[in-house]
Amino acid sequence: MQSLFYSIFAHMEKFEINILGCGSALPTLRHQATSQVVNIREKLFMIDCGEGTQVQLRRSRLKFTRLNNIFISHLHGDHCFGLIGLISTFGMLERTADLHLYCQPELEKLLIPQLNFFCKGMPYQVIFHHINPKEQKVIYEDRSVSIETIPLEHRIPTCGFLFREKPTPNHILRDMIDFYNIPLWMINRIKNGEDFVLEDGTIIPNTKLTKPSAPPRSYAYCSDTAYFPRITEQIKNADVLFHEATFEESDISRAKQTHHSTAKQAAQIALDAQVKRLLIGHFSARYEDENNLLQEARSIFPQTFLANENMVFKL
């Protein structure tokens, strides 16, 4: 019974961001190439897969078997060179479940010959789903989450990903269940909004028996991108925004030239989109540490945090 009640009364389902790598194009001894795993109720969604991701995934202790979907933001090497190694290792570990890869069609063209050569006879399939980074579209959906592309502005076609949790049923108030002696079989109906009728015909309104579940959460991943205010509408009120912050403000001309953002620009997007918290990453290898980036972003948006390898950020 305990586990039944635990699941009935649990308030917040798991929604966590695992940072596997938050460096930029040049890997360093401090930061790995880009990759994250979003853990939603123990379903794992990988975003980007730079070189070394498979080892970082192992380090995270996340279960390989829970990962069935990988999303690639764009086709720069620091966001996808780790794919072939990860796919190959899954094969050696005798994975059988399909692995779904959401990416631009060019990546399929580049990967297929490598898969045919290096991964012949693998016991599972890689299923490619082509995405168009220029359009805003739901590309994945299940009963707990939807994932949509966020068109970004970079040197090559690039999109971010917006994870939207689906609403969960209201929460039962356990003491009221006890008070009215409501039978177990009614509980799911009450969670879904029904009132309860006593034997004497008295109606106990649903609002007395439940409290609203936590509002659905959302996570917006935006990397790599120049400062691109058009995205604020789509990511409005996100619980967490991950936004690249490759450069300090003093390097803004380099940011413009390479279609990247400064920490202040990331913070401005967070402020305009009225998100709750901002996580910055994709740090340039030129900085010895990221405290300047953090201070610059916090001067505009105080709820800013630095990404770091092996960090788990809870929504």
Q: CB-wise, 8 or 75, nearer to a copy of itself?
A: 75
Is 195 marked active-site? no
Pattern 113-132, a copy of itself, x by CB under 8 A: xx--xx--------------
Collapsing DSSP to helix, strand or coil, 296 comes out as helix
Contact pick of 19, 27, 35, 37 for a copy of itself (by CB under 8 A): 27
Closest CA to 280 of 312, 310, 314, 307: 307
Q: Could you tell me if 148 and 220 are in contact, meaning their C-beta atoms sit under 8 angstroms apart?
A: no
**Nearest distance from C-beta of residue 78 to a copy of itself, angstroms:** 8
Q: Could you tell me if 304 and 270 are in contact, meaning their C-beta atoms sit under 8 angstroms apart?
A: yes
Span of 111-119, 205-213, 236-244, 264-272 interacting with a copy of itself by CB under 8 A: 111-119
**Nearest distance from C-beta of residue 25 to a copy of itself, angstroms:** 6
Strand order in the sheet with 277-281: 138-141, 145-151, 159-165, 218-222, 240-244, 277-281, 304-306
Q: CB-wise, 88 or 146, nearer to a copy of itself?
A: 88
Binding to a copy of itself by residue 28, rule CB under 8 A? Answer: yes
Binding to a copy of itself by residue 312, rule CB under 8 A? Answer: no
Residues in contact with a copy of itself, counted by CB under 8 A, come to a total of 31
CA pair distance 190, 117, nearest whole angstrom: 56
Give the list of residues 6+ apart from residue 184 with CB closer than 8 angstroms, or none: none
**Which long-range contacts link 155-159 to residues 24+ away (Cβ below 8 Å)?**
155/258, 155/259, 156/74, 156/75, 156/76, 157/74, 157/104, 157/133, 158/73, 158/74, 158/133, 158/224, 158/225, 159/73, 159/74, 159/131, 159/133, 159/134
Give the list of residues 6+ apart from residue 259 with CB closer than 8 angstroms, or none: 153, 154, 155, 224, 225, 226
Binding to a copy of itself by residue 41, rule CB under 8 A? Answer: no
Q: CB-wise, 26 or 203, nearer to a copy of itself?
A: 26
Whether the bond between 224 and the residue before it is cis, its omega within 30 degrees of 0, is yes
Span of 26-34, 139-147, 218-226, 247-255 interacting with a copy of itself by CB under 8 A: 26-34
Q: CB-wise, 165 or 309, nearer to a copy of itself?
A: 309
Closest CA to 282 of 220, 228, 224, 219: 224
Binding to a copy of itself by residue 185, rule CB under 8 A? Answer: no
Binding to a copy of itself by residue 58, rule CB under 8 A? Answer: yes
Pattern 128-167, a copy of itself, x by CB under 8 A: ----------------------------------------
**Nearest distance from C-beta of residue 278 to a copy of itself, angstroms:** 28
Q: Which tokens sit at 182?
A: 């409501």
**Nearest distance from C-beta of residue 88 to a copy of itself, angstroms:** 5
CA pair distance 240, 303, nearest whole angstrom: 10
Q: CB-wise, 199 or 288, nearer to a copy of itself?
A: 288
- 304: which strand partners? 278
Binding to a copy of itself by residue 106, rule CB under 8 A? Answer: yes
In single-letter form, the type of residue at position 192 comes to: N
For binding to a copy of itself (CB under 8 A), which residues are involved?
Answer: 25-29, 32-33, 51-52, 54-55, 58-59, 75-77, 81-82, 84-85, 88-89, 92-93, 106, 109-110, 113-114, 117-118
By annotation, the residues acting in catalysis are 78
